[in-house]
Amino acid sequence: QGLFEDVLDDCAFFVTYPEHMEDLGLVMVILCDYQTRKFQRRTPFTNEIQNSAATDVEDAISDCKTKLNAALARHRIKASAPSIEYLLPETVRSKEAIGSKQPVYTWVNQIKTSISDVIEQFKEEGFTLVNSEEKLVDKQFAVDPLCSDVLMFPGEYREDLVDHDLYLGGKIVIQDKSSCIAPHSIKHLLGDDSDIIHVNVGAGLTTAHIASLINNSNNHAWAFGAKSTSESKAIQAQFEKCGIKGIKVPTDSFLDIDHDDSKYKNVRVILVTADCSRSAVTNPVDFIVNEGEDMKILKDMATGDVNMSRITELSTAHMNIMKHAMKFSKVQAVVYMTRSIHETENENVVVKSVEYTNMVQQRKFPWRVVPPVLPFSGEEIEKKIGIIGKYIKFHPTEKSSGCFVAVVTREPEDAKEAARDVLARAQARGLLPTKKSKEKLVNSEITNGEVDHIPNGHDAEAEPKLLPKRGKKGSRKLPVHHASSTPHPKAYVKPQGVSPVASYINAAMKWRRHSASTKSTVSGMSVGSRLYQSQTKVFTDKKLKDQTRHVSEHIKVIKHPAPFR
């Protein structure tokens, strides 16, 4: 934009056409389009409805195209640039080169469909499912190794996916992988009845992804970040397209809400998507369109310069949000996410916020940073690919934009509440049966006259076979066990072990046979005789003790001491 502004000033464009001064943004867009087409006039599409303001600007640029082209050439020669693209900063050009090779990421909306159904539909359309390690070419796609509901497609299929029925129907959502890491980190932190707060909701895609992963009507969510009623309605429309309910989008600022408000009593997790410098984003235009960001940040992202004063200002705002999030008494986890490569916005914000909060609150269980639950391989952990210590940190690559994710947790003060939360998280991870799975077990269907599940471990058909045997031995009745966790009494099984005495005798006999075969003599007595005599001695001593114990008093002989002399 700075280059085009200089070119327009060199040509005195706004001196000649002062009426277009208010349409500076439109002039920049049309001039950029003209430069891309070698200053050739655009041919309108069939039945295209043309905008009068855009047509007037296009006519003015067409009249000045010779001067504009000459001015661009002078700037290019002055900078010794082989083409106009080389006039951009090196950081911007490198990001564009990386972004042009990146695949397109889509996550499956599991509220409307399933991952397997989507994969099968793409296979039927001629796509081939390959390993995620391979480079995607032609009609190939893969499943992301970290996010199981995220599919990867070649970058040239972006337009085809936008027009696809699955995308138009809200069954798949196009979003970069860097935005999918945080929802997967949150998935295992929520129980069945836990609520969540999302700060800086953007276009609502990340919040919708969380709802898709949880897929539970008992959870509720609050999405903060809408600055007006119209923005709130647009975000709600995005949720309705995905078939999501139960998400409230207030226009209040997150910092203005009361952390002791009763309506947030079930909130257990807060996701803070920081309004950062976006220095790790490789494709700014697609990012702004998908995430619903303000177009004003595009100019800052295109300069390539690092404004440390701006970054310091942003990090201060992030710390205020983190400190406020950790004030909620029932919240047990705060997930912090940025799309920045600067430690000032990442680790520094987390460490300082946690230290300050622990110093102020002085709780029995303080806040601490924990590693997220994601399926990183041992090689990735060792080589610090994607995870560095307790933080998730991806740098911009040809696969995706970069991101930073930190999970800060603490245990509740109440022991009963802590136990309930542990069980809830275990159920969310699938380690324990949920209420729905228990109902399915109790109400299991009976097909073909056979019982699919055996309640409480009892086999209804095997039970009558035990009744005649019990009747022969008597009318003994086993106690009735009503609890589902009580195991069914098993039939008596004869122990297979050997007694210690038998083990000792067997060992002695083996040694005796071994001695006879080798014709060797054992000093003293043999093992068998020693065993016999030791047993005889024990028996004799025991017999003498018994006789002594049962001798009557009048039979005992009392030996008097010798008389004094």
Q: Which residues have a Cβ under 8 Å from the Cβ of 54 and sit 6 or more positions away?
A: 26, 30
**H or E element that contains 286:** helix 284-291
Question: What pLDDT, on a 0 to 100 scale, did the predictor assign at position 117?
Answer: 96
Mean pLDDT computed over 509-519: 58
Mean pLDDT computed over 514-542: 49
**How remote is the C-alpha of 23 from its chain's centroid?**
45
Average pLDDT over the chain, rounded to whole? 76
Question: What pLDDT, on a 0 to 100 scale, did the predictor assign at position 506?
Answer: 67
Distance CA 526, CA 512 (A): 8
- The class that CATH gives domain 98-174 is alpha beta
Question: What pLDDT, on a 0 to 100 scale, did the predictor assign at position 446?
Answer: 40
**H or E element that contains 129:** strand 128-129
Nearest residue to 4 via CA among 92, 87, 90, 77: 87
* Domain spans, the chain: 2-87, 98-174, 179-428, 501-545
Give the type of residue at 257.
I
Mean pLDDT computed over 121-145: 91
| Residue range 68-108, pLDDT digits in tens | 888 887 877 776 666 666 556 666 566 566 656 789 999 99
Mean pLDDT computed over 100-128: 93
Mean pLDDT computed over 392-398: 89
Sign, CA dihedral 317-320-326-331, equals negative
Burial class (CB in 10 A: 0-12, 13-18, 19+), 491: exposed
Task: Count the Cβ atoms, other than its own, within 10 Å of residue 218.
Answer: 13
Q: How confident is the model at residue 381 (pLDDT cuts 50, 70, 90)?
A: confident
pTM, 2 dp: 0.65
pLDDT of residue 488 exceeding 60, the answer is no
pLDDT of residue 249 exceeding 60, the answer is yes
Q: Is 309 helix (H, G, I), strand (E, B) or coil?
A: helix
Whether 402 contacts 392, CB under 8 Å:
no
Residue 371 in tokens: 């590693």
- The class that CATH gives domain 179-428 is alpha beta
pLDDT of residue 461 exceeding 50, the answer is no
Distance CA 249, CA 240 (A): 13
Mean pLDDT computed over 454-477: 44
Query: 40-44, 501-505, 558-562: which has the minimum mean pLDDT?
Result: 558-562
| Residue range 326-358, pLDDT digits in tens | 999 899 999 999 999 999 999 999 999 999 999
Share of the chain above pLDDT 90, in %: 36
Q: How confident is the model at residue 54 (pLDDT cuts 50, 70, 90)?
A: confident
Question: What pLDDT, on a 0 to 100 scale, did the predictor assign at position 516?
Answer: 56
Q: Is 389 helix (H, G, I), strand (E, B) or coil?
A: coil
Distance CA 232, CA 226 (A): 5
Q: Is 430 left (phi over 0), alpha (psi -120 to 50) or beta?
A: left
| Residue range 284-329, pLDDT digits in tens | 777 877 776 766 666 666 655 667 888 999 999 999 999 999 999 8
Query: 138-152, 242-256, 410-424, 542-556: which has the minimum mean pLDDT?
Result: 542-556
Query: 217-221, 275-279, 493-497, 530-534: which has the minimum mean pLDDT?
Result: 530-534
Task: Count the Cβ atoms, other than its own, within 10 Å of residue 380.
Answer: 15
Distance CA 371, CA 272 (A): 17
> Helices 229-241 and 205-214, interaxial angle, to 10°?
40
